[in-house]
């Protein structure tokens, strides 16, 4: 159903969404290029940070790119196969984003609580293994959701109260009783891919805060907290907007309110991620300026 059918609003939405999408892609791509081009940033901490923009770009491109085309062509139709494909990619990149944030929390825990053993614990093999597990777990979640949806659907000329194929709303359009499917998806999506990652993040920061509070100097506390400030901001932004979307969907709000709320996750979160990390990390800012200067020359 999209955002609005008002023709006067379509041009404004097209410019706004296209601008946000281009800034998001450019900002995350620039972060990746800056890390890759600067040998000083080829460390284990930036190894995870180099993978997060890739997940963000895939996450926003899955839904926002199609929305831009829909606004431009004045058509909100999507095929059955296209809808399932969009939902699959949305789940894959969303889970990957969430799991990478969990892995990064563990990385900050080791760096702050075990600094002398950091290079041994977080070696390249272990970092590669953690990223691989995040990718594989994300790939397993998508077909599970699709299989449950395919067994209960007979879609034909239906309206989705959003600007993309959102899994929970697709289930409300199924032809059969959705209680079993809702229960299964709630267990897999919320418990396994929601509760466990956020529990890991909270546990990591519980372990981080305890030794930091025992540091006698204020400068030492500030330095310790500053190393994980960007990650905390991104985690709060991601889970804050995701929780808002989930509660909005549960409250059965109007299509426009659901779409506007969902856009906070699809556009706002990936857009702000690049700025949060680039503005708070002096090393990345220097690498970006160096990269842009080289390209200008």
**Is the model's pLDDT at 13 over the cut of 80?**
yes
> Which bin fits 118, alpha (ψ -120 to 50), beta or left (φ > 0)?
alpha
Structure-model confidence comparison of residues 22 and 160, the more confident one: 22
Residue 63 forms part of a structural domain? yes
Number of domains in the chain: 1
Residue 148 forms part of a structural domain? yes
State the pLDDT at residue 257.
64
Residue 1 forms part of a structural domain? no
What is the total residue count of the chain?
Answer: 297
How far apart CA 106 and CA 83 sit, in angstroms, is: 35
pLDDT category at 11 given cuts 50, 70, 90 is: confident
Report field, pTM of the whole predicted structure over 0.85: no
State the pLDDT at residue 207.
84
Residue 292 forms part of a structural domain? yes
**Is the model's pLDDT at 279 over the cut of 60?**
no
**Is the model's pLDDT at 12 over the cut of 70?**
yes
Residue 45 forms part of a structural domain? yes
How far apart CA 56 and CA 293 sit, in angstroms, is: 26
Burial of 216 (0-12, 13-18, 19+ CB in 10 A): exposed
Tens digit of each residue's pLDDT (9 = 90 or more) over 79-136: 888 888 888 898 889 888 888 888 888 888 888 888 888 888 888 888 889 999 988 8
Residue 2 forms part of a structural domain? no
The parent domain of residue 266 ranges over 7-296
Mean pLDDT of the chain: 77
Tens digit of each residue's pLDDT (9 = 90 or more) over 162-221: 788 877 777 666 655 555 555 555 566 666 667 788 888 888 888 888 777 777 777 666
The CATH number of whichever domain residue 190 belongs to comes to 1.20.1070.10
| 3-state SS record for 132-183 | HHHHHHHHHHHHHHHHHHHCCCCCCCCCCCCCCCCHHHHHCCCCCCCHHHHH
Residue 82 forms part of a structural domain? yes
């Amino acid at each position: 159903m999209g955002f609005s059918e008002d023709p006067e609003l379509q041009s404004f939405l097209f410019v706004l969404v296209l601008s946000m999408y281009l800034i998001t892609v450019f900002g995350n791509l620039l972060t990746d290029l800056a890390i890759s081009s600067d040998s000083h940033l080829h460390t284990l901490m930036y190894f995870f940070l180099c993978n997060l923009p890739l997940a963000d770009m895939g996450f926003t491109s899955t839904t926002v790119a199609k929305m831009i085309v829909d606004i431009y062509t004045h058509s909100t139709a999507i095929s059955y196969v296209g809808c399932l494909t969009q939902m699959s990619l949305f789940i894959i990149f969303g889970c990957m984003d969430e799991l990478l944030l969990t892995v990064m929390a563990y990385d900050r825990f080791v760096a702050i609580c075990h600094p002398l053993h950091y290079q041994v614990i977080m070696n390249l093999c272990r970092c590669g293994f953690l990223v691989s597990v995040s990718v594989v777990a994300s790939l397993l979640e998508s077909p599970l959701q699709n299989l449950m949806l395919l067994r209960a659907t007979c879609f034909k000329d239906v309206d989705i109260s959003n600007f993309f194929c959102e899994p929970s709303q697709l289930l409300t359009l199924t032809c059969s009783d959705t209680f079993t499917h809702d229960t299964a998806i709630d267990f897999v999506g919320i418990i396994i891919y929601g509760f466990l990652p956020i529990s890991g993040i909270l546990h990591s920061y519980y372990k981080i805060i305890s030794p930091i509070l025992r540091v006698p100097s204020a400068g030492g506390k500030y330095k310790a907290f500053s190393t994980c400030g960007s990650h905390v901001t991104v985690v709060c932004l991601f889970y804050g907007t995701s929780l808002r979307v989930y509660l909005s969907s549960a409250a059965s709000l109007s299509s426009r309110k659901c779409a506007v709320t969902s856009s906070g996750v699809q556009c706002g979160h990936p857009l702000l991620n690049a700025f949060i990390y680039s503005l708070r990390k002096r090393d990345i800012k220097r690498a970006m300026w160096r990269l842009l200067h080289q390209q200008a020359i």
